[in-house]
């Protein structure tokens, strides 16, 4: 799950960089492109913020998955140490 979120972050930030470049060069290189630089800057800002939020979700997901995995491993180790006739406390 976290890997998919990281891929989404990469795509969002790539589009944000493209929008930022379009904001800086709009109207100069190709006059037929939309020349509203403010629109491109706003789009880049929203894509960047969205990418950062998704990155935070990806990191949190990876951390919780690691905690669950280590908890399960510890539970399995403790289960393996107890003998067949011992009771749980």
* pLDDT per residue as tens digits for the range 58-81: 999 999 999 999 999 999 998 887
Residue 83 placed within a domain = no
Domain, as residue range, for 52 = 2-75
Structure tokens at 33: 């492109």
Assigned domain for 86 exists: no
Q: Is residue 60 part of a domain?
A: yes
As for how many domains the chain has, the answer is 1
pLDDT attached to residue 62: 92
Q: Is residue 40 part of a domain?
A: yes
Residues 41-65: b if buried by 16+ CB within 10 A, e if exposed:
bebbeebbebbeebbeebeebeeee
CB 55 within 8 A of CB 9: yes
Quick check: is 71 in a domain? Answer: yes
- pTM (2 d.p.): 0.71
- Please check whether residue 22 lies inside any domain of the structure: yes
Tell me if 38 is assigned to some domain. yes
Per-residue pLDDT of 13-48, as tens digits, reads 999 999 988 888 766 666 666 566 788 889 999 999
Asked if the structure places residue 53 within a domain, the reply is yes
């Amino acid at each position: 799950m976290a890997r998919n979120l990281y891929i989404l972050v990469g795509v969002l930030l790539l589009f944000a960089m493209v929008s930022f470049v379009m904001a800086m060069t709009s109207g100069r290189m190709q006059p037929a492109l939309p020349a509203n630089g403010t629109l491109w800057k706003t789009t880049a800002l929203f894509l960047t913020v969205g990418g950062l939020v998704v990155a935070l979700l990806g990191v949190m997901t990876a951390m919780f998955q690691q905690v669950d995995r280590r908890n399960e491993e510890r539970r399995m180790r403790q289960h393996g140490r107890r003998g067949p006739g011992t009771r749980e406390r």
